């Protein structure tokens, strides 16, 4: 018999760490562009008894018995994903966005084949060909970046590189780029050279669900995504595709790259898809974009340089050199976390500093919007951040800004105490 004792009775150390992190989550303003707060319903499914089930394979084609109910549940998740994004096919099993990308690469390419993607320091992602990642080690990477003047993706460069290197995969998508992607231009370039167009929508798939940014599905052959960022679901990945790529993708995820799917996470993805299909989710994602815009506009007015000049989505990058040449991203991020604003340091295009130091900060608004903040609080947060950065050597000024941040955060707790019974 398993013990029916509570977590606190069995493992007070872990319970106490959860309680402490809940206090941290409830007392800060959260601006990490890839984070969010899952609902109690998502977390209930994520911690459900589906964690116990092995289900290698796909619905109605499993390598284990006892999958009748898991089949119904995973089918529901697949159908909800297809309907939410207008996709012909969905694979909801990838454990993460990186494994979704790996699955797509395995399904389309041999080692040594060429991918054309955005360079990490220009706003791309590790799995888009960074030399420290499997993608950069197993594939031939050709990388595009931003136009030095407009700081928008240089589509002329994308086309020139595509014609020169004839990649098998043209990859559009980002972790730190604040403007819309030109799907029509990417599609035309991929068609011109007979390449597959892959869109990595990990960062903005939630905004797509809410209709706040254009949907890549009608343009791309394949779209990869995560479910825990703006989409506000459980930690995990997924792949959407046309029917043409359905079989090879499914095979590349299982048995190609993963074993048993994490069915409790699949159940939680299904819940997130349902939540994201509600009209209020569009209100939420519109607010994410409005908040990002309000913060970026405030900063521009305050004389801070924002990469690409502003934002169309949920994030933007600050160039700290416009505040203080000597202040690195790492030091700034640490200082801000200490006074109650949590974000991450980030390379900016052509950053003179190393990736573990950087000259930039990335600001994202999905989590603060889930906290309930709107434009007024977003602008106020931007004001407080700039004030702290300008006074980063002045202890008493930082203490005073920290007090204002704490007062603001306390009014916008993601998990106020009446939720306590739903969290463990």
Catalytic residues: 54, 56, 200, 226, 229, 235
CB nearer to ligand DSN: pick between 125 and 298: 125
Nearest distance in Å: CB 56, ligand DSN: 26
Residue 316, strand partner residues: 363
Sequence-separated (6 or more) residues with CB below 8 Å from residue 158: 116, 144, 170, 185, 186, 189
Strands (E), 201-272: 222-226, 237-241
Q: Check residue 255 and report its DSSP letter.
A: I
Using CB under 6 A, which of 50, 70, 76, 97 touches ligand DSN? Answer: 97
Closest CA to 187 of 163, 233, 219, 154: 219
Residue 172 φ then ψ, to 5° = -115, 140
CB nearer to ligand DSN: pick between 33 and 327: 33
Nearest distance in Å: CB 201, ligand DSN: 12
Nearest distance in Å: CB 96, ligand DSN: 8
Distance, CA of 143 to CA of 164 (rounded, Å): 12
CB nearer to ligand DSN: pick between 202 and 323: 202
Nearest distance in Å: CB 188, ligand DSN: 28
Closest CA to 121 of 176, 167, 162, 158: 176
Closest CA to 235 of 222, 224, 226, 247: 226
Number of residues that bind ligand DSN (CB under 6 A): 5
> Counting contacts by CB under 6 A, is residue 311 touching ligand DSN?
no
Closest CA to 122 of 58, 85, 175, 59: 175
List Cα–Cα distances, 402 to 29, 90, 138, 186, in angstroms.
11, 45, 46, 44
How would you label 273-306 residue by residue, b for 16+ Cβ within 10 Å and e otherwise?
Answer: bbbbeeeebbebbebbbbbbbbbbbbbbebebbb
Residue nearest to ligand DSN (CB): 34
CB nearer to ligand DSN: pick between 97 and 129: 97
CB nearer to ligand DSN: pick between 127 and 328: 127
> Counting contacts by CB under 6 A, is residue 34 touching ligand DSN?
yes
Residue 328 φ then ψ, to 5° = -85, 160
The alpha-helical segments, DSSP class H, found in 219-321 are 243-251, 263-276, 279-301
Q: What angle do CA 50, 56, 61 make, to 5 degrees?
A: 105
Nearest distance in Å: CB 33, ligand DSN: 6
Nearest distance in Å: CB 273, ligand DSN: 20
CB nearer to ligand DSN: pick between 26 and 36: 36
Interface residues for ligand DSN in 152-211 (CB under 6 A)? 175, 202
Distance, CA of 88 to CA of 423 (rounded, Å): 36
Q: Check residue 406 and report its DSSP letter.
A: H
CB nearer to ligand DSN: pick between 203 and 293: 203
Distance, CA of 44 to CA of 52 (rounded, Å): 15
Interface residues for ligand DSN in 99-158 (CB under 6 A)? 125
Q: What angle do CA 270, 276, 282 make, to 5 degrees?
A: 175
CB nearer to ligand DSN: pick between 57 and 237: 237
Distance, CA of 353 to CA of 205 (rounded, Å): 31
Cα Rg for the chain, rounded, in angstroms? 22
Torsion 30-283-185-242 (CA) sign: positive
Residues that bind ligand DSN (CB under 6 A): 34, 97, 125, 175, 202
């Amino acid at each position: 018999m398993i013990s029916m004792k509570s977590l606190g009775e069995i493992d007070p150390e872990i319970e106490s760490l959860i309680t402490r992190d809940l206090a941290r989550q409830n007392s800060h303003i959260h601006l990490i562009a890839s984070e969010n707060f899952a609902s109690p319903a998502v977390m209930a499914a994520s911690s459900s008894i589906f964690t116990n089930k092995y289900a290698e394979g796909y619905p109605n084609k499993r390598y284990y018995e006892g999958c009748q109910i898991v089949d119904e549940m995973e089918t529901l998740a697949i159908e909800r994903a297809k309907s939410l994004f207008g996709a012909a096919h969905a694979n909801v099993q990838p454990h993460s966005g990186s494994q979704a990308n790996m699955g797509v690469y395995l399904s389309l390419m041999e080692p040594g084949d060429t991918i054309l993607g955005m360079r990490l320091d220009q706003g791309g992602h590790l799995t888009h060909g960074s030399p420290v990642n499997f993608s950069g080690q197993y594939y031939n990477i050709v990388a595009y970046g931003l136009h030095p003047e407009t700081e928008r993706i240089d589509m002329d460069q994308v086309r020139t590189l595509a014609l020169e290197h004839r990649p098998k995969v043209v990859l559009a998508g980002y972790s730190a780029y604040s403007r819309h992607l030109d799907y029509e231009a990417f599609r035309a370039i991929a068609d011109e050279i007979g390449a597959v167009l892959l869109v990595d929508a990990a960062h903005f798939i939630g905004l797509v669900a809410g209709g706040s940014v254009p949907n890549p599905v009608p343009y791309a052959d394949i779209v990869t995504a995560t479910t825990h960022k703006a989409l506000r679901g459980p930690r995990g990945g997924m792949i959407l595709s046309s029917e043409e790529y359905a079989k090879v993708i499914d095979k590349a995820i299982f048995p190609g790259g993963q074993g048993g799917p994490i069915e409790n996470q699949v159940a939680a993805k299904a819940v997130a898809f349902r939540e994201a299909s509600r009209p209020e989710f569009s209100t939420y994602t519109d607010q994410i974009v409005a908040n990002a815009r309000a913060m970026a506009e405030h900063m521009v007015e305050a004389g801070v340089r924002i990469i690409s000049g502003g934002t169309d989505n949920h994030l933007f990058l600050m160039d700290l050199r416009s505040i203080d040449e000597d202040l690195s991203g790492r030091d700034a991020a640490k200082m801000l976390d200490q006074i109650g604003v949590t974000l991450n340091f980030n390379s900016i295009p052509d950053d003179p500093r190393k990736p573990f130091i950087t000259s930039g900060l990335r600001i994202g608004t999905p989590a603060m919007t889930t906290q309930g903040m709107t434009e007024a609080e977003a602008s106020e947060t931007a004001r407080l951040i700039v004030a702290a950065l300008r006074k980063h050597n002045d202890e008493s000024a930082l203490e005073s800004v920290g007090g204002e941040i704490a007062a603001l955060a306390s009014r916008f707790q993601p998990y106020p105490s009446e939720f306590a019974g739903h969290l463990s």
